[in-house]
Every structure is written in C-alpha cells, then in structure tokens.
Chain A
Amino acid sequence: QKEVEQNSGPLSVPEGAIASLNCTYSDRGSQSFFWYRQYSGKSPELIMFIYSNGDKEDGRFTAQLNKASQYVSLLIRDSQPSDSATYLCAVNMFRDSNYQLIWGAGTKLIIKP
C-alpha cells in the first residue's frame, strides 16, 4: 500500500461544476495535510493546508479532513479552465526522527469549457 494514494485521473469536469479530488494516507498519526497545484512544466504551488477534522474553506476551494477514515479531499467550486492542472496531496509523516512530506502521485484535473 502506498503511503499517500490519489487517483491519477484524468478527472474531467465541466466548467462551472464542482471538482472533487481525493487522497488517502496510511499513517494514522499524521497531523498536517497539504494540497498543491502543479501546472505542466511549473513547480508545485500551495493551495491549502488543513490540520483539524472537518472542512476548511478558502474562496472556491474547500479542504475536507477525516482522520478516522484517513482521508483528505479538495473541492473546487465553480471550476474554471484555469483550474486544469495536476493536484498533489502531501501528508506530513514522522520518519527517522524527522517530519517528511510524503507526496501522492497527483490527480490530473481537466476543466472542459
């Protein structure tokens, strides 16, 4: 089992709809969760982070965390073509006496006009 799992996609969503991106993780002790967006040929860019169970909203983005189910998701409301990118889930895990961000392989999101 991979430590951080994401569906690689591509996930195709019509413009204006809600895009739902999911991520599961293996370490029950993880406390910090991050969503990054990566456009093709560019570097990862932080979108949101969440530490507590429940929802966290920032503009059109909502992160949802369920630690009991070891599941974190990102919702994008009113999807725009500019949201088309690969979304990376990253989970902080304690390894070898240090915290490390463990990355999922990313979900490619395509917003169709």
Chain B
Amino acid sequence: DTAVSQTPKYLVTQMGNDKSIKCEQNLGHDTMYWYKQDSKKFLKIMFSYNNKELIINETVPNRFSPKSPDKAHLNLHINSLELGDSAVYFCASSPTGWDNQPQHFGDGTRLSIL
C-alpha cells in the first residue's frame, strides 16, 4: 500500500492553463506538506497543513492555492501556469508538525509547462 500517493505523476500543459495535483496519505498523520523541487534539485517548502489548518504559507505566488478537505488529503491548485512553474512537486506528511518528526514523501508530480 502506498503511504503517500500523488496524482498525476506527470503533467504536461500549456502556459496559462489551470491545473490541480492531488495528494492522499494513509499513515494517519496530522500534518501534510507541499514542496517544490526545481531543476537544481533544491527542495523548497510551499505550504503545510496540520489537521486541515494552514500552518506554513511560504512566499509563493497567489496563483498557488492549497486545499485540505480532511487531514488525509492535501491538494494543490495552480492558476495561470507559467514557464517557471515547471518543476517536481512533492507532497509529504509527518505524524505531527513538531520538530522531531521525519517526513514521508510521495513519488512527486513532474509538471512541464510548454
């Protein structure tokens, strides 16, 4: 059973389109995250939710909007896609948001903007 699953795995779309990425975890964790990993492989936190409540909201364009319908799901919607949005987006989860909790990652969504 996949612990943290993201869909789709690959997303190829044109500039200006709107797209969503879905994430689900079956680990019973309270906290979920969205990361962006660019071509230089640097992992950057975008958002974090703890039990459906937004707790980390880094400086990302407001074209990116997370949504957590329940603590097992965290989706990411992106409006008006731009070339610079091309990256791998990882969803992750941890038992809580406290400091000694490792994070478990999904397989990533590879977004390519044409």
A contact residues vs B (CB 8 Å cutoff):
31-32, 34, 38, 42-46, 49, 51, 86, 88, 92, 94, 96, 98-101, 103, 105-106
Decide: A94 and B43 in contact? CB cutoff 8 A.
no
Within 8 A of A (CB), among B7-48: 40-45, 48
Decide: B100 and A98 in contact? CB cutoff 8 A.
no
Give the residues in chain A near B114, CB-CB below 8 Å: none
Decide: B107 and A99 in contact? CB cutoff 8 A.
no
Give the residues in chain A near B97, CB-CB below 8 Å: 98-99
Give the residues in chain B near A43, CB-CB below 8 Å: 90, 105-108
Total A-B Cβ pairs within 8 A: 51
Give the residues in chain A near B45, CB-CB below 8 Å: 100-101
Please tell me if B56 contacts chain A, counting CB pairs below 8 Å: yes
**Contacts known (A43-B90, A43-B107, A98-B48); A88 close to B43, Cβ less than 8 A:** yes
Interface string of B45-58 (1 = CB under 8 A from A): 10010000001100
* Interface SS majority for chain A: strand
> What CA separation (Å) do A5 and B103 show in the bound complex?
20
Query: Chain A nearest CB: distance from B106 CB in Å?
Result: 6
Decide: B107 and A42 in contact? CB cutoff 8 A.
yes
Which of B45, B90, B99, B107 gathers most chain A CB within 10 Å? B99
Cβ-defined partner of B99 (8 Å) among A31, A38, A44, A88: A31
Smallest CB-CB separation from B94: which chain A residue? A101
> What CA separation (Å) do A45 and B108 show in the bound complex?
12
Decide: B103 and A101 in contact? CB cutoff 8 A.
yes
